Amino acid sequence: MGYELVSRSARTVAGSLLGLGLLSAPIAATMAAEVSVGAGLRTSFMVADPDSGGGKTSSFAVDDARVYLSGKVTDEVGFMFNTNFTSNNAVGAFQVMDAAATFNFSDTSHIWAGRFLAPSSRSNLYGAFYQNSWAFLSDGVQDPYPQHTFGRDEGVMYWGQFGITKFAAGIFNNFTGANAPLTDGGDLKGAARLQLDLWDPEGGYYLNGGYYGGKDLLAFGLAGQFAGGDSIMSLDALLEKKVGGGGVVTFEAEYYTADRIAGDSDGYYGLVAYLFPQMVGPGKFQLLGKYGTYSPKGGTDGDTLELNVNYIIKDQNLRLQLFYLDTETGGPLLTGAPGKYYGLGLQVQM
């Protein structure tokens, strides 16, 4: 079914530059440069009620504001450059997420180099904008992999799709900052992921947390990252099925175990959602529940419960999400204190 040009911006096209000045280029084949530009916004109003006391607080936030830039230099060679802004000071106001060259020769042969998401769990590969729930990175389970920023690392990777099987493997910097690094005894780490799609296939390298009826999906993924004697491994599964009457049921689960210098841990989460078939105005309602447990070895377990009422207008490109989060690991993006958080989130992409 072909490949996607990595950046989610491949779904939105702002314009193209077609072979300007190439007539004088000393090459035999005509080359065309095509550029796609997109943008995404997650913004919310939230009430925080921390377990430590001190009373409730309310605030507006720009959770994520992104600009996506991708393009093709030739039919096989492309690039992506994606940025993120957030009003969350603990994450940092502005950061470069992706900056990579992509060589896409066929469905079975892709080489990427630069900064991008290394092979890892499904939740890391779909991120905040393509998950079903709202509170990304708040359960201690999503994205336990060491990373430089937003799950990204610098390195080089091969990936390919072989029928129902997708495989990716690469070598990356072994980031040794505060984000749960692997061993500090080596400069590089290996990363790999194997995925099986038993029903409809998922095209491209990046994944979704759900397709709102666009696919009947039964997918299993096994991933790991390794450096020195340390490792992180995860197993994930997603089942999404259209049911009688036009509704969509979704089940997702992930388990990971980690042996690293920042502390050994393991954890899991399970998610269930149901998208009602009836149109209510321009969209449909979805009910969602998610439960996760984060278990640092030798420490205290942390449980997280999230409940959502989602109003889906245009899949991940336009939706409202009423959320409630009860967490023992920290607030949204793990920057708040354990407690209860509830509010309304808006997501828009183009």
Separation of alpha carbons 160 and 176, rounded Å: 29
Q: Which amino acid type is present at position 219?
A: A
Using CA atoms, how far apart are residues 241 and 56, in angstroms rounded to an integer? 40
pLDDT 10s digits, 243-260: 988 999 999 999 999 988
Q: Is residue 344 part of a domain?
A: yes
Copy the structure tokens of residue 177.
Answer: 């900052």
Q: Is the pLDDT score of 28 beyond 50?
A: no
Which of 7-16, 135-144, 197-206, 280-289 shows the lowest per-residue confidence on average (mean pLDDT)?
A: 7-16
We report the CATH number of the domain holding residue 178 as 2.40.160.10
The count of other CB atoms within 10 Å of the CB of residue 187 is: 9
The mean per-residue pLDDT over the stretch 142-160 comes to: 82
What is the pLDDT at residue 178? 54
- Asked if the model's pLDDT at residue 344 lies above 70, the reply is yes
Please give the Cα distance from 284 to 300 (Å, whole number): 39
- 2 occurs within a structural domain: no
Please provide the DSSP assignment of 245-288 as one string.
GG-EEEEEEEEEEEE-TT--EEEEEEEEEEE-SS-BTTBEEEEE
Whether residue 121 is contained in a domain is answered as yes
145-159, 242-256, 274-288, 306-320: range with lowest mean pLDDT: 145-159
Domain-located, residue 3:
no
Query: 78-93 b/e with 16+ CB inside 10 Å = b?
Result: bbbbbbbbbebeebee
pLDDT band for position 146 (cuts 50, 70, 90) = low
Q: Is residue 55, in this structure, part of any structural domain at all? A: yes
232 is a domain residue:
yes
Q: Could you give the number of structural domains in the chain?
A: 1
In a domain, 1, yes or no: no
How far apart CA 268 and CA 252 sit, in angstroms, is 11
Cα(98)–Cα(112) distance, rounded to whole angstroms? 11
CA distances, 6 to each of 71, 81, 273 (Å): 10, 10, 27
Question: Domain containing 310: what range?
Answer: 8-349
